Structure 1
Amino acid sequence: MTGQHCWGYGDEDGPSEWHRYYPIAYGNRQSPIDIISSQAVYNASLNPLVVSYDHCTSINLSNNGHSVMVEFDDNDDKTVISGGPLDGSYRLKQFHFHWGTQQNSGSEHTVDGKSFPCELHLVHWNAKAYSSFGEAASASDGLVVIGVFLETGGNHPGLNRLTDALYMVKFKGTRAQFDNFNPKCLLPSNLEYWTYPGSLTTPPLNESVTWIVLKEPIKVSDKQMGKFRNTLLFSGEEEDQRVHMVNNFRPPQPLNGRTVQASFKC
């Protein structure tokens, strides 16, 4: 078992076993973390986060066996974020989700020990400093991920097009065209955030991510969350055993002396 094929979210290949193939799992800036709001340091010099997704080009929707993902054309600077804790702009590469089986578990980051049913990750890379996403993913300042919590409430109109399309990528390894989707509709109106230096939350667990975790969740319906839990499978179409894609999250990791900064006063 090598590379990307040796990990998952089961008892034998889940997060507690990842260190066997990825020793950096015990590194000093691993993600996710539990954000203790009272210990976050307000930094008045942090700028507002600027999201410029208006000209983004979504390409496809896919099931990679670990999550459902929407990929974007990242060949130019039309789709970028800037401001916040960032020195420059970072291009959007993809977004994906992590979720659980019930309302009180599923997010990767937690806040004061509280978990949310789901967490959205919008993954960006430093195209000014690096020539490819792969190169950026192994550099300490290569990636920026915006984390958005999903909590159950009313129906989220912006999410409907995605949840209605999940049946097309039910099985691991499937992909479907998914164009003209602007992920700005998945952001809350309030972009106040916590930020800290961290890592990818899936193997290879590179410590290359500046995390921007938004304080305000978006509200989605039980029906919408149900489509994630009941439609998608960890298994491929050719496999006899059909395993629902749930609990695809890594638990919080030690902070190891890192400072979590806040763009807002508690």
Structure 2
Amino acid sequence: MLKIICFIVTAGIAFAAEYDYFSLAEDWKQMDGTWCASTEQTPIDIETDAEIVRYKQMPMEFAPTFSLPVVTGATGNNNGHNVNLEFQGSPGVIFRFPKGRSFTSLNGPYTGTGPLNPGRKMLSSSGFEPALLQGTLIDVHWHVPSEHAVRGRLYPAEAHFVHAISHKDDPDCTYMAGDQGPFCLGVIGVLYEVHHDDTETELDEGFTKVMEGFKNFPSDGQADTQPLPEPLDLASLLPESKEFWHYRGSLTTPGCNENVTWFVLQEPKAIGWSHFNSLRNSILHDDLGDLNARPPLPLNSRIVFKSNYDEDIHQVV
């Protein structure tokens, strides 16, 4: 199943001779055999086109958790469109979040607005239960600048942690048939904020190890694979807070396959200027345009869910 999933996640490889970012991905909509012109596409501008629905008064056992592992044998890869991490074996990841009748839709009862959430719907904790889903981490890759925007703002970079979630863990999962049954894709999106003073972030061990591998890529942009220093703690690539925005979307490269469940973390991850510059130089060295990010697309009829577990949200009636 891993080979099939990896082909889908890196679906742009199949279109490597056909797509670039010069047209801001507008010409992707004319590509045969893709979903790029469909209505549930990623990325989006969060809280600009959306009516955000918040979880209301969730107990702490509902708090989102992503238990990314420590891995060995990781490699950095440059495929000509982006740079990514791949792993020996299949690192297991646990997702914990409020689950309703469906992992992908998070159905549940809406309640009224509150004084701390004017004009916004709330999602009652009744009808939900804490959910633990087992995922398989299959790919981590980066985009410069970010693909998701927050209130119209793009960030300097964004990482995507791509996971396969099996049918046995979520009976509603019908995205694709694999060797072991249907699976869905769940993606954790991490926005990166750049600190021009490296002193606060120079000891970021995880990102330093990633950049150690990336700096050895050929300067002419040829495809290449480099080993990373080990062990690599993937959790160190995430911000401290795991609060998220959640919605249903797509892959962000052709074929733009939909029914991908997104968790975009609300807190940006701070990296130093030297790390960001190394990441940018690893990506922007080819003829695909001066970026590798698809611009935000309309939300259409979708709903974005926002997790909040701090005291002021608990006080909303």
TM-score for the superposition, normalised by structure 1: 0.81
Q: 1:90 matched to which residue of 2?
A: 135
**Against the structure 1 CA distance between its residues 72 and 134, is the aligned structure 2 distance closer, same or farther, given a 3 Å change threshold?**
farther
Residues 96-107 of structure 1: matches in 2 within 5 Å? 96-99=141-144, 106-107=145-146
Q: Which of 139, 146, 164 lines up with 2:188 in the alignment?
A: 146
Residues 219-238 of structure 1: matches in 2 within 5 Å? 219-232=270-283, 234-235=285-286
**One-letter identity of the residue aligned with 2:186:** V
CA distance in 2, matches of 1:231, 1:121: 16
CA distance in 1, matches of 2:89, 2:55: 31
CA distance in 1, matches of 2:208, 2:239: 16
Q: 1:20 matched to which residue of 2?
A: 30
2:86 maps to 1:67: no
CA distance in 1, matches of 2:240, 2:262: 19
CA distance in 1, matches of 2:269, 2:42: 22
Give the RMSD, CA atoms, in angstroms.
Answer: 2.9
**One-letter identity of the residue aligned with 1:27:** S
Aligned to 1:18, what secondary structure does the other structure show? helix
**Against the structure 1 CA distance between its residues 155 and 145, is the aligned structure 2 distance closer, same or farther, given a 3 Å change threshold?**
same
Q: What number of residue pairs does the alignment pair up?
A: 245
Q: 1:238 matched to which residue of 2?
A: none
Unaligned runs of 5+ in 1: 100-105, 236-242
1:29-52 CA-to-partner distances (Å, cap 9, x unmatched) read: 100000007831102359322222
Residues 118-133 of structure 1: matches in 2 within 5 Å? 118-129=157-168
Residues 113-192 of structure 1: matches in 2 within 5 Å? 113-129=152-168, 135=177, 142-153=184-195, 154-156=200-202, 157=204, 158-170=206-218, 171-178=221-228, 179-192=230-243
Residues 224-263 of structure 1: matches in 2 within 5 Å? 224-232=275-283, 234-235=285-286, 243=287, 246-263=290-307
CA distance in 1, matches of 2:68, 2:51: 32
Aligned to 2:293, what secondary structure does the other structure show? coil
Q: 1:240 matched to which residue of 2?
A: none
CA distance in 1, matches of 2:212, 2:288: 17
Q: 2:71 matched to which residue of 1?
A: 56
Q: 1:103 matched to which residue of 2?
A: none
CA distance in 1, matches of 2:201, 2:289: 22
CA distance in 2, matches of 1:256, 1:141: 25
Greater share of residues in strand: 2
CA distance in 1, matches of 2:261, 2:283: 29
CA contact (8 A) 1:140 1:209 kept: no
**One-letter identity of the residue aligned with 1:145:** V
Residue 129 (structure 1) shift: 4.3
TM-score for the superposition, normalised by structure 2: 0.69
Aligned to 1:126, what secondary structure does the other structure show? strand
Aligned to 1:261, what secondary structure does the other structure show? strand
Residue 89 (structure 1) shift: 1.7
Aligned to 1:94, what secondary structure does the other structure show? strand
**Against the structure 1 CA distance between its residues 49 and 124, is the aligned structure 2 distance closer, same or farther, given a 3 Å change threshold?**
same
Aligned to 2:16, what secondary structure does the other structure show? helix
Aligned to 1:161, what secondary structure does the other structure show? helix
Aligned to 2:188, what secondary structure does the other structure show? strand
CA contact (8 A) 2:81 2:283 kept: no
Aligned to 2:192, what secondary structure does the other structure show? strand
**Against the structure 1 CA distance between its residues 129 and 206, is the aligned structure 2 distance closer, same or farther, given a 3 Å change threshold?**
farther
Aligned to 1:225, what secondary structure does the other structure show? helix
Q: Which has the larger radius of gyration?
A: 2
CA contact (8 A) 2:34 2:254 kept: no
**One-letter identity of the residue aligned with 2:54:** Y
1:106-136 CA-to-partner distances (Å, cap 9, x unmatched) read: 1100000011000011000014549xx9746
Aligned residues with identical type, % of pairs: 30
Unaligned runs of 5+ in 2: 1-12, 104-130, 170-174
